[in-house]
Amino acid sequence: MAGALADAGCRVDGVLGRHDDVTDAARGVDVLVLATPDGVLAEVAGAVRPMDGTVVLHLSGALGPEVLAPHRRRAVVHPLVPLPSAEVGRVRLRAGATFAVAGDPVAAEVVRLLGGRPIAVADGQRAAYHAAACIAANHVVAVLGQVRRVADAAGLDFEAFLGLTRAALADVADLGPAAALTGPAARRDEATIARHRAALAPEELPGYDAGVALARRLADEHRLVRVAEDR
Whichever domain contains 132, its CATH number is: 1.10.1040
Tell me the residue range of the domain where 140 lies: 127-230
Nearest Cα to Cα of residue 62 among 73, 75, 76, 48: 76
Q: What is the pLDDT of residue 229?
A: 57
Q: Give residues with Cβ within 8 angstroms of 51, minimum separation 6.
A: 26, 27
- How many CB atoms neighbour CB 1 within 10 A? 19
Domain final residue pick, 121, 144, 179: 121
Q: How many domains does the chain have?
A: 2
Integer Cα distance of 176 and 169 in angstroms: 9
The verdict on 98 and 141 lying in the same domain is: no
137-176 pLDDT tens trace: 999 999 999 999 999 999 999 999 999 999 999 999 999 9
For strand 74-79 and strand 55-58, is the pairing parallel, antiparallel, or unpaired? parallel
The verdict on 6 and 36 lying in the same domain is: yes
Q: Indicate if the alpha-carbon torsion angle 190, 196, 197, 199 is positive or negative.
A: positive
Long-range contacts of 117-120 (CB under 8 A, 24+ apart): none
The verdict on 51 and 108 lying in the same domain is: yes
Residues in the chain: 231
The verdict on 88 and 55 lying in the same domain is: yes
Domain final residue pick, 88, 121, 154: 121
pLDDT band at 16 (very low <50, low <70, confident <90, very high): very high
* Whether residue 222 has pLDDT greater than 80: no
The verdict on 116 and 145 lying in the same domain is: no
Domain final residue pick, 67, 101, 121: 121
